[in-house]
């Protein structure tokens, strides 16, 4: 017998207990991916591969705003304990809420709503313009709240004014 065969024969088989089975099942559950998630990733990969094969750029699907997210944004924006650190975070949430409400067929929060007044086409155009300007401010800022504020003030026509003493 060779040394390798002796080593294999000398090692006793480990006894597997119920706790080992439970631990292994927990590990498998923790590491598993749901079928829906797996199919989503497969579809995304196929879309990417097809797009690249055709020589085009791959565009991610726009992510939809769920009903739960809309409710959470409303609570965050209009709740009693609303504390935003900066304007950029606030307007990011406002635009996300607007997008979700419009996707779900609800009233645009940038439009006037009242039983005696129906928004006109001009109102819709102005609301879209404001949303577009805010989105441009967010893109321009690239995550910098101070840069967002500067661009927001520029958009609103606010000029640096010296404080009077």
Check residue 163 and give its pLDDT: 46
DSSP label at 105? T
| Distance (Å, whole) CA 62 – CA 131 | 17
CA dist 18 → 28, 44, 48 (Å)? 15, 40, 44
Three-state SS for 83?
A: coil
pLDDT at 164: 46
103 near 64, Cβ under 8 Å? yes
State the Cα–Cα distance between residues 71 and 97, nearest whole angstrom.
Answer: 9
What is the reported pLDDT for 19?
84
Which residues, 6+ apart, have CB-to-CB distance to 163 below 8 Å? none
pLDDT at position 100: 92
> Is 98 within 8 Å of 133 (Cβ atoms)?
no
Tens of pLDDT along the chain (165 residues) come to 566 565 555 655 677 788 888 888 778 777 776 667 777 777 778 777 777 777 665 555 456 788 888 888 888 888 877 677 789 999 999 999 999 999 988 999 999 888 888 889 999 999 999 999 999 999 988 888 999 999 988 888 766 555 444
- pLDDT of 101: 92
Rounded to two decimals, the pTM is 0.57
The answer to whether residues 148 and 83 touch, using CB atoms and an 8 Å cutoff, is: no
């Amino acid at each position: 017998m060779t040394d390798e065969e002796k080593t294999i024969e000398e090692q006793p088989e480990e006894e597997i207990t119920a706790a080992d089975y439970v631990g292994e099942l927990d590990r498998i559950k923790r590491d598993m991916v749901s079928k829906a998630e797996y199919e989503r990733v497969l579809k995304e990969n196929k879309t990417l591969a097809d797009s690249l094969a055709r020589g085009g750029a791959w565009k991610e699907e726009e992510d939809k705003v769920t009903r739960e997210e809309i409710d959470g944004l409303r609570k965050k924006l209009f709740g009693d304990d609303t504390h935003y650190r900066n304007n950029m975070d606030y307007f990011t949430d406002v635009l996300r809420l607007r997008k979700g409400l419009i996707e779900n067929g609800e009233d645009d929060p940038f439009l006037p709503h009242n039983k005696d007044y129906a928004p006109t086409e001009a109102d819709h155009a102005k609301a879209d313009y404001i949303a577009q300007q805010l989105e441009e401010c967010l893109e321009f800022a690239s995550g910098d709240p101070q840069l967002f504020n500067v661009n927001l003030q520029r958009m609103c026509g606010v000029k640096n004014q010296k404080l009077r003493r």
